[in-house]
Amino acid sequence: MLTLWETPAEENPLSTWIARLTKLGKTISETIGAKEWAKRLAEGEEVESIKGKSEYEVQELCKDYAFKLKLTISERNMVMKAACDNGINVVEVLDVLGLELRDVLLGIEERME
């Protein structure tokens, strides 16, 4: 099984951890332009307010949002190609989108590197 995200060992319990992209997750993010997508989306009004929510809650909201997102045909093809090229399923690619959106919304992109 390929791992797209991981959690720091010091962060427990699992119900509160914040995931970070692995090298493969970052590669997929770059391939599909996830960070740029997240930045565009965060500028719009489609994103639910995150005020008062923990980082974990924002992470789960963003992953759910990415999963329910109506992608264009071009975006869908890009996601499916990334999944096929890397031997993973589409849901895992959508998780990468969700994690990038979380990072943009929380402004934690720099802290996670």
pLDDT at 1 over 50: no
What is the distance, to the nearest Å, from the Cα of residue 93 to the centroid of all Cα atoms in its chain?
8
- Residue 104 burial by Cβ neighbours in a 10 Å radius (0-12, 13-18, 19+): buried
Residues 83 and 90: beta-carbon distance below 8 Å: yes
Q: pLDDT tens across 38-52, in order?
A: 998 887 655 656 778
Predicted TM-score (pTM) of this structure: 0.78
H runs (alpha helix) in 1-113: 23-32, 34-43, 55-68, 73-86, 90-106
pLDDT band at 36, cuts 50/70/90?
Answer: very high
Which pLDDT does position 15 carry in this prediction?
47
Instruction: Report the pLDDT value the prediction gives residue 98, as an integer from 0 to 100.
Output: 93
Cis-peptide into 8, omega within 30 deg: no
Query: What share of the chain in percent tops pLDDT 90?
Result: 40
In the predicted model, what is the mean pLDDT of residues 71-92? 93
